[in-house]
Amino acid sequence: MNKTITLNDGYEIPILGLGTFLARDEECERAVAFALTHGYDHIDTAQGYRNELQVGNGWKASGRTREEIFITTKITYGNQDYDATVESFQKSLADLQTEYVDLLLIHWPNVKAFDNTLDVWRALIDLQAQGLVRSIGVSNFTIPLLERLLAESSVVPAVNQVEFHTFLYQKELLSYCREKGIQIEAYSPIAKAKLFDNEVLQKTAKKYSKTPAQIMLAWLLNHNLVAIPKSTDEERILENADIFFEFDAEDLNALDNLEPRTRLVRELGVFDD
């Protein structure tokens, strides 16, 4: 679980993290503290999740030092200008009870007013220059949106956090991001547990004595992608970490070609596939 990937800015990101989307109140605090005392080093949150304070309480309760853990948060879509980004990030730091975050992302691009998104990106660049953020990146960016960003900025995002799983193998996006030095980070990595009955997935799980969720997560790691499965259940948090094994080439190929292709998250007019 100590495996990391080096980003384009030289910082390292743990390949496995705990997602906290929809985690609330004491349940969120307990999950974060449990994960950090049971092998996890990486916690993912966002302003829009409305749980940054609970994540802060959780990492504090874990007894871990700040330097030992990796914290990601994201600027919400409602803070789509420079000043709102800077101001809201100060609150994020206060709630997270930290002087810096390891990774700060633009949560959603504004496809109808992309100049606003560029303003947010400029704010992230300045926050990084001030030492308040180590790495900066984006989330939910398609190739055309990444191209628009890179056309206006010489700073290449370190990460693009997107929906990515065995039923949404975005080969073209992955190839593009690797060419540009952008690390793909997978949210909804088990497709919200909606496709576990897939025959190939079931067969592979039986062969490796794993659950379908573990197979889906291990598939991401086999492709050197960062995964952030969300759970507040202690048993599931441990299960989601027992995924460090390699597939036979034949099994990996079968998982690469699962059907049906399924996108579960469609918001703000970003995706049209």
Is the backbone peptide bond immediately before 189 cis, with ω within 30 degrees of 0? no
Q: Which residues contact 80 (CB under 8 A, 6 or more apart)?
A: 110, 113, 116, 117, 119, 120
Q: Can you say how many angstroms the Cα of residue 252 is from the centroid of all Cα atoms in its chain?
A: 22
Question: Residue 133, Cβ neighbours under 10 Å: how many?
Answer: 22
Question: Residue 245, Cβ neighbours under 10 Å: how many?
Answer: 12
Look at residue 80 and tell me whether its pLDDT is greater than 90: no
Q: Output helix, strand, coil percentages for the chain, rounded to the nearest 5.
A: 45, 15, 40
Q: What is the pLDDT of residue 144?
A: 96
Instruction: Write phi, then psi, for 73 (nearest 5 degrees).
Output: -140, 175
Look at residue 273 and tell me whether its pLDDT is greater than 60: no
Q: What is the pLDDT of residue 151?
A: 98
Look at residue 201 and tell me whether its pLDDT is greater than 70: yes
Pure H helices in the chain? 25-36, 52-62, 82-96, 114-129, 143-152, 171-180, 199-208, 212-222, 234-241, 249-256
- Average pLDDT over all residues of the chain: 96
Q: What is the pLDDT of residue 272?
A: 64
Instruction: Write phi, then psi, for 72 (nearest 5 degrees).
Output: -110, 135
pTM above 0.95, yes or no: yes
Q: Which of 40, 49, 77, 187 is catalytic?
A: 49
The predicted-structure confidence for 82-121, as pLDDT tens digits, reads as follows: 999 999 999 999 999 999 999 999 999 999 999 999 999 9
Ordered by where they begin, the domains of the chain are 4-194+224-235 (3.20.20.100)
- DSSP for residue 139: E
- In angstroms, the CA 47 to CA 253 distance is 37
**What CA–CA distances, in Å, run from 77 to 44, 145, 235?**
17, 15, 33
Question: Is residue 49 annotated as part of the catalytic site, yes or no?
Answer: yes
